[in-house]
Structure 1
């Protein structure tokens, strides 16, 4: 073992200058704030995604106001795709309630600001949250998680974490993330095959693919913590609804929002 002796100063040279204490390099808050503002600018697109996909399985995608038939698209986003969520012709509500998508995006932005992860890792989290927000609204509305939202969420997060691995994160965490995503998705799918309606849905399994990738990147304990948080939140809400008389033992709650919240909670705890 090499020993380093105390530093000495030649006679008459005076004390050696003190070096400035080293500080941890943190991602710039200004850049993250700009990212949050950019995400808010995308809320019309997120509202449109909910409108298109919040329909029963096999039904045609939503195209506009259910009351008067006025079409809704990105060429005329206001007010139907704005915070008021109202039809420009009949003023009926369109899609999620007013300001809810905007509040969800702000909450997702707050999560990104609180995470102390490198920029490469943060890009994967931001990508996944961008898909998770409309997924939650669709699942609450019609109890389904469309493939057109779950697959891009998982694939993009996996690819971005692969870039993070090349940028210095290492192959180990990325391989672990890949195994975690596949393993968690298979676990959810197995409950569907074995338990039927009493298990998780296949949509939950596809959402779990991206959840496992994200949480597995940070380690197996983070993955377990996210799953336990999701199950605990679902149990608490179910118990509250039972006590309030708003649900029965046979009621089926959408699990997607709880899985998203559990994932966010585990990411915050890990950082």
Structure 2
């Protein structure tokens, strides 16, 4: 157990950047991105990460909470590190590992942002998709071949079109366009490993969201008309599917 602490602590230097992304982008649509503490205006950023961007998530000026709940981002980052460690056991090509790490670097902040303000900003979803597609293309060029890459692109586009279609057909009762943009990268990452893997990831996400929605309804913490963010379930479903195929 003591030997695992140095490995686990290796993820801590990047968590202030993840917290910064959450704090900066977890704002309502049409609102300027956050640059400081909402309570006292003290600046928050990578040049001044502590304590606002640390595990306590408290402003150094007034003590108000900043961004995601205390220790939540750190725990999520450790879970992501464990998922990457599981991938290492299968000895994948280095490019596949880098691709998964790239996607997780954007998916983790998006998870917390969607929970907080029910939106998935383009400034995170689009770089996640572009980087995932390009890195998988590099994997194809360096040995995997074109077939997995074309399948990944098809899966990403197909999953995104599915989410976008529900938005067009069902309006607010369907998934959001932000979910479709996140699916561009999630679907591609899953599609690299086979056509059935994106389906598995979607089923896991839908099942988890349904269980949580039912629990909220039974506990009267939500109503049938309530809008629940789907991005977190898509992230968790993608990770779950990857762990099952790795």
Please report the TM-score for the alignment, with normalisation by the length of structure 2.
Answer: 0.94
Length, aligned pairs only: 238
C-alpha distance in structure 2 between counterparts of 1:95 and 1:257, whole Å: 16
1:237 to 191, 194, 212: 212
Counterpart check, 1:100 vs 2:76: no
2:192 aligned with 1:217, yes or no? yes
**Structure 2 residue aligned with 1:30:** none
Q: What corresponds to 1:124 in structure 2?
A: 99
- Distance in 2 of aligned mates of 1:211 and 1:58: 26
Q: CA RMSD in A?
A: 1.2
Does 1:264 find its partner at 2:239?
yes
1: CA distance between counterparts of 2:10 and 2:199? 32
Would you say 1:189 and 2:189 are equivalent positions?
no
TM superposition shift of 1:161 = 0.8
Q: Partner of 1:150 in structure 2? A: 125
C-alpha distance in structure 1 between counterparts of 2:25 and 2:45, whole Å: 14
Deviation at 1:39, TM superposition (A): 4.0
Deviation at 1:264, TM superposition (A): 0.4
Aligned partners of 1:72 and 1:126: how far apart in 2?
25
* Aligned counterpart, 1:59: 31
Q: Which residue of 2 aligns with 1:138?
A: 113
1:23 alignment counterpart: none
Task: Kindly provide the CA deviation profile for residues 1-24 of structure 1, in whole angstroms up to 9, marking residues without a partner as x.
Answer: xxxxxxxxxxxxxxxxxxxxxxxx
1:170 and 2:142 matched: no
In 2: Cα distance, 1:162 partner to 1:236 partner: 36
Q: TM-score, normalised by structure 1?
A: 0.85
Q: Counterpart of 2:190 in 1: which secondary structure?
A: helix
Deviation per CA, 1:191-242: give whole Å up to 9, x if none.
1001001110000000011011101100011111000000000000000111
Q: 1:202 aligns with which of 177, 196, 217?
A: 177
CA shift digits 1:19-54 (9 cap, x unpaired): xxxxxxxxxxxxxx86x7554311111111111100
Q: Which residue of 2 aligns with 1:249?
A: 224
Aligned to 2:50: 78
Aligned-pair distance for 1:118?
2.6
**Residues in 1 aligned to 2:163 and 2:178: alpha-carbon distance in whole angstroms:** 9
CA distance in 2: counterparts of 1:77 and 1:40, whole angstroms: 12
Tell me how far apart the structure 2 counterparts of residues 186 and 197 of structure 1 sit (CA, whole Å).
Answer: 16
Indicate the larger mover: 113-122 or 180-189: 113-122
